[in-house]
């Protein structure tokens, strides 16, 4: 039974993590120390120190690549077709969170062309008119059928927000 934990916003196996760090540090640190010693004995010390850093960083990358080959990602990736539900339900949910998506006929020529090419024109128009019938286009929080509950985004809505911006 693997021990899955969340570290730095993604899932890892704790034993693989310990092994991975041991390999990464185990390759990069000796590489740096040996290179530093070797360059120091052969002349220009400051420059040799910098080249040793370069060797050390190559060691970091090498270690990461090896770890990458040894341990596979702990993620499940699914590529879904857009939605199983009807497009109107999806648009209703978006409208509930974001506000009315509006009448596509009011868009400028370029944007209207884009919506048509995406095949969204009819769906947006239908949704807009249905809303207009139900009580005015300004009612952005109008609850459409089946618009309760889940958000329009899927499970990844709880994506890692790292909270460290600059």
Partner 1 sequence: MSADLIEPILWAVGMALLAAVLFTGIGLISGTDETAIVAPLALLVILIGVPPAGVIAFFLAAIISKHISHAVPTTLLGIPGDTTAVPMLREAQLLRALGVPHIALQKAISGGVISVIIAIPLSILFALVLTPFAEAIGAAAPWIFIAAAVLVAYTSKGKLAAVAALIPFVLLIVGLQAFIMEQKEATFTTSFFLGIATGPLIFDLFAALSPTGRKTMTQDGKREFTLAPDVRPASRRLPNPLRTLDRTQIAYTSGSAAITSATFVFSPVAMAVLMGEITGSRIKNGYHRLTTVMTVRNGTTESTYLAETLIPLIAIGLPLSPMAAGPAAPLFNAPPVYTLDTKSGETNNLHDLLTTGQFALFAVIAAVIAIAIAYPFVMRNAHRAATWVMTSVSHEAIIAGFAALICVICLYEGGLLALGVTITVGLVGGLFNRMIGMHAGVQFMGYYVAVLTVPAILAL
Q: Check residue 59 for interaction with partner 1 (CB under 8 A).
A: yes
Q: How far is the CB of 94 from partner 1 (least distance, A)?
A: 5
Does position 38 bind partner 1 by CB under 8 A? Answer: no
Query: Distance between CA atoms of 29 and 96, rounded to whole angstroms?
Result: 54
Tokens for 29?
Answer: 């640190």
Q: Which CB atom, from 72 or from 133, has the smaller least distance to partner 1?
A: 72
Q: Which of residues 62-91 bind partner 1 (CB under 8 A)?
A: 63-65, 67-68, 71-83, 87, 90-91
What are the CA-CA distances from residue 152 to residues 22, 51, 62, 148 (Å)? 42, 52, 41, 10
Number of residues that bind partner 1 (CB under 8 A): 95
User: Which of 21, 38, 116, 143 contacts partner 1 by CB under 8 A?
Assistant: 21
**Is position 57 an interface residue for partner 1 (rule: CB under 8 A)?**
yes
Q: Which of 98, 134, 143, 145 binds partner 1 (CB under 8 A)?
A: 98
Q: Tally the C-alpha atoms within 13 A of residue 13's C-alpha that lie toward its C-beta.
A: 13
Q: Taking CB under 8 A as the criterion, which residues in 126-155 touch partner 1? A: 152-155
> In degrees to the nearest 10, what's the CA dihedral of 103, 106, 108, 109?
90
- The single residue listed with the structure tokens 């969170």 is 97
Can residue 1 be called a binding residue for partner 1 (CB under 8 A)? no
For the chain, the first-to-last Cα distance in angstroms comes to: 39
């Amino acid at each position: 039974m693997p021990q899955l934990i969340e570290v730095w916003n993604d899932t890892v196996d704790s034993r693989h993590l310990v092994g991975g760090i041991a390999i990464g540090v185990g390759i990069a640190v000796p590489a740096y120390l040996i290179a530093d010693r070797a360059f120091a004995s052969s002349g220009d010390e400051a420059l040799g120190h910098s080249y040793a850093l370069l060797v050390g960083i190559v060691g970091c990358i090498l270690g990461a690549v090896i770890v990458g080959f040894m341990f596979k990602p702990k993620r499940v990736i699914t590529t879904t077709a857009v939605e199983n539900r009807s497009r109107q339900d999806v648009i209703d949910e978006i409208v509930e969170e974001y506000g009315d998506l509006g009448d596509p006929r009011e868009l400028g020529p370029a944007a209207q062309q884009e919506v048509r090419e995406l095949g969204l024109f009819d769906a947006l128009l239908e949704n807009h008119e249905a809303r207009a019938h139900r009580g005015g286009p300004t009612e952005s929080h109008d609850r459409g059928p089946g618009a309760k509950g889940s958000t329009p985004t899927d499970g990844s809505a709880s994506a890692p927000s790292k909270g460290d911006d600059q």
